Structure 1
Amino acid sequence: MISIPMAGPIVAPPRHRFLRVRYQLLGGLLFAVVLPVLLRSLDGTWVITAQTTQNTVLAAVCAHILGFLAFRRLGTFPGVAAAGFILPTFALTYGFIFAVIFFFRIDYSRFQAGGSFMLSTLWYFGWSIAARRVVRHRLAVVPGGNVSGIERIQNVVWHHLSSPDQAVAGINGIVADLRADLSDAWERYIADAALAGIRVYHVKQVTESLTGRTEIEHLSENTLGSLNPNQFYLSFKEAADRLGAVAVLVLLAPVLALIALAIRLDSSGPVLFRQERMGYRGKVFTVYKFRTMRVEEPAGDGRESAMTRPGDDRITRVGHVLRHSRLDELPQALNILRGEMSWIGPRPEALALSRWYEDELPFYRYRHIVRPGITGWAQVNQGHVTDVGDVLEKLHYDFYYIKNFSPWLDLLIALRTVKVMVTGHGAH
């Protein structure tokens, strides 16, 4: 019998039972669904057997489980303070489930449904606070290759190893540049760690998961394959985008008319701003926005006039309000209806800027593999940028969005965008 040597100096941190999925979900269901029923049963046991109560319990269980799954999925994306999305996430799932019940005229208890919703958010707020105190990522870094500077990533305790014999206790994983030419001793160390149940991460994988950026130095067959978006979701999203555009244009027609009137009264010029931009699959299209700047003749090659600098004196009084609230973007519902844009995706650049970036940045054109959006992953993380260096970072965010193209990421971007619109924080 051959014994497999284990990594003696490597000790994994103890696992906390309450962090396991079954304890989180079971505790949440008991606290948020069963407890309201028990409180109502104080009026009599007949409450438990009533059809209204049973309908409410079934709906609350479905809404709670959906909210739990969405909350956990959103929390896996980098830079997400999951606690901040508990309330809107459960509001969406409870609102959706009980809207369906209301539509089909099924009897339910509003008191019990409201109590279940409030207790669900309270449970996961408490769990999130407790988890932050107990759990913190501790990663050991193997020297060699491209691992320098990784300690700049925050919210992680980094342990830089100096020797394969170094004892490290309580780590969650080991980070190494697996493409580097490591010594035999370090390769044995990594192999022993994997056999001991310690997760081993490639440095690029860790950087991507903690920063929300996908950096690409060379396009390879594997890279292109991993960056191709899910075609089924791409088609589904296009249909949902167009339905949303119709709803916005119909329901917000009075608001659009008032904004148009305010623009005409504030400054001379057309209500709508039109500009050629690079779009889906590299096709040029005309984007529509409410005009927020004074009308001026473009200077030079059009690149400077296409850039909006912080504190730009061309922005009108009404324009400041529209930009701060993002209401200037609403006419792009027309572009969405025509299939040129999406609600969520990489922002389309002005034609002059796009051609400049293509000349300066490798792989820039690859961002056009999905439809451009009114808001996107780069916008909620970075904001508006124009300099080439910042655009390269923006490109990394765009690639991360394409690689992780999913309804969960779109939901997260939508929630962050609503937060920007309501609070104004992060608006440019």
Structure 2
Amino acid sequence: MTNPIGRVSRQIPIPSSGFGERAVSIFQYGRRLRVQLVGAIIFAVCVPAVLRFAPASSELLGSATASTLQNAVLGTLIAVLAGIVLLRQFVAFPGVSASNYIIPSFVSSYGAIALVFFFLRLDYSRYQFIVSFAAAITWFYFIYFLTSRLAQPRLAIIPGGEDDRLFEIEGAEWARLKEPTENFQQFDGVVADLRADLPSHWERFIAASVLAGWPVFHVKQVMESLTGRVSIEHLSENSFGSVLPSLLYLRLKRLVDCAAAAVLLPIILPVIALSALMVKIDSKGPMFFLQQRMGYRGRMFTMIKLRSMRIDMPADQLFTAANDPRITTLGRFFRKYRIDELPQIFNVLKGDMSWIGPRPEAVKLASWYEESIPFYAYRHAVRPGITGWAQVSQGNVAEIEAATTKLQYDFYYIKYFSPWLDLLIVLRTIKTILTGFGSR
């Protein structure tokens, strides 16, 4: 919620803890957007341009035209600004460390500008681009390590309602206020259950805090921000209607899904064919596994996967356990690196699935959930995905309790449905595939 490079509601002085007030003030300045922005423009745009075209370096680097200089400076300026926007969008989500997304953000922004120059056949200084890229990354890593000691927010809790649940959540320093006259200058904000029936003196305290410009957060808002989950028991008629996913982005995402599937199909198809042949040789049974799943807007569809389990063992378990004896040796490898999911590209082309979204549940399990969990059907407001927020945050699950937590991740994805969250999931999915995180 207060990532050192991310978006913060308000910069509030934090008392020193061995570094001294002046050092803490420097750390606080490093979290401000204007400081990060001005520093990035100076070190990643202006300095490389001066070095490139300074008389001392011109003999070594050669001459360049005025248009080349303008293109290089303008291109790196746009790349820096786009990289900052992208990075701040990423770190706004729970559990995202800026240190892991500085390089992907600027690789994306500088790469996009380089492609524009390539296709438009514009001259630009490669030296300017390379040095600017390195300087931008160096600057933001410097900012990250300078301010990382302030990354964990210190929040004051107003007693009442569901305030006890906050102490179970990591990612913040909690302190319950005892009196409304208590000095809370040492905190980054105030947290209260705004739906609870609070005493009048605490209500006056909240009003005074707001008028003083101090951020006041609702318990639910803080819990979602720190955990990346939307608690199922908190879904009410009002919140249910307020988190309707963007219909415009739903349509745009469908176009992106089809375009990506069309581009990747020639690459993936040979892998599917070879893998299917390996499945046939490895164990008895069909090459593919077909199962009815609950999909978009509650419609059933047939999901296709490479078979990873034996056919001579019971298949009525709802969940796959760790070291499940039903999984074949080859299937275990496929599941670890998600190779068994590749045939679902045909589900994407057909419109049953998206590349990113809540994983589709088996019809039997979905029916059980609908009877047990209020608003479960809301999970079908978007197309199910091959990968999703729950998969990269939690991995596959093997029990009812963990499956309930997975639903909370799914509701968070739907509530904060956006291209930024999808792009973050793509990056995390790459890491998941490389590490085999959460596979069963």
TM, length-normalised to structure 2: 0.89
State the partner residue of 1:43: 57
Q: What letter corresponds to residue 183 of structure 2 in structure 1? A: A
Distance 1:341 1:25, change over 3 A: same
- For 2:88, the aligned partner's letter is R
> What is aligned with 1:123?
139
Is 1:226 the counterpart of 2:242? The answer is yes
CA shift, 1:47, in A, is 4.5
Cα offset for 1:377?
Answer: 0.9
Mapped partners of 1:37, 1:31: distance in 2: 10
Relative to 1, partners in 2 of residues 1:387 and 1:363: Cα closer, same or farther, differing over 3 Å? farther
Corresponding residue of 1:191: 207
Q: Cα deviations across residues 177-202 of structure 1 (Å, max 9, x unaligned)? A: 11212112111111111111111111
CA distance in 1 between partners of 2:128 and 2:186 (Å)? 44
What are the Cα deviations for residues 35-55 of structure 1, in whole angstroms up to 9, with x where unaligned?
222222233398465433322
| Aligned counterpart, 1:26 | 38
Counterpart pick for 2:363 among 331, 351, 364: 351
Alignment of 1:225-244 (within 5 A): 225-244=241-260
Post-superposition Cα deviations, 1:84-109, rounded to whole Å, max 9, x if no partner, equal: 01111211221122112212222223
> 4+ residue runs of structure 1 moved beyond 3 angstroms?
45-50, 218-221, 296-299, 425-428
Q: Which residue of 1 aligns with 2:392?
A: 380
- 5 Å-filtered alignment, 1:275-314, equals 275-296=291-312, 298=314, 302=316, 304=317, 306-314=318-326
- Of 73, 79, 91, which residue of structure 2 is paired with 1:75? 91
The one-letter amino acid paired with 1:326 is: R
Q: Deviations over 1:57-93 (max 9, x none)?
A: 2222212211110101111111111210111121122
In structure 1, stretches of 5+ residues that fail to align are: 1-10
Secondary structure at the residue paired with 1:139?
strand
Which one-letter code corresponds to 2:167 in the other structure? E
Cα deviation for residue 344 of structure 1 reads 0.6
Residues 1:175 and 2:191 are matched in the alignment: yes
Query: Secondary structure at 1:179's aligned position in 2?
Result: coil
Match of 1:245 in 2: 261
Taking only aligned residues, the RMSD between alpha carbons, in angstroms, comes to 2.0
Alpha-carbon separation, structure 2, partners of 1:216 and 1:426: 23
User: 1:37 touches 1:48 (CA, 8 Å); kept in 2?
Assistant: no
1:264 aligns with 2:280: yes
What amino acid does structure 2 have at the position aligned with 1:13?
Answer: P
Checking the alignment, whether the CA contact within 8 Å between 2:82 and 2:109 is kept in structure 1 is yes
- CA deviations over 1:252-308 (Å, ceiling 9, x no partner): 333222222222222222222111100000000001111111223655xx3x1x421
Q: Is the Cα contact below 8 Å between 2:232 and 2:374 reproduced in 1? A: no
1:391 aligned partner: 403
Structure 1 residues 318, 297: CA separation in 2 closer, same or farther (over 3 Å shift)?
closer
- Name the stretch that deviates more: 335-344 or 184-193: 184-193
If the length of structure 1 is used for normalisation, what is the TM-score? 0.91
Gap regions ≥5 residues in structure 2: 1-10, 15-24
- Choose which of 338, 343, 347 in structure 2 pairs with 1:331: 343
Amino acid at match of 2:373: L
Displacement, 1:413? 0.8
Tell me, yes or no, if structure 1 residue 315 matches structure 2 residue 327: yes
Residue 419 (1) aligns with residue 431 (2): yes
- State the number of aligned residues: 414
Report the secondary structure of 1:252's partner residue: helix
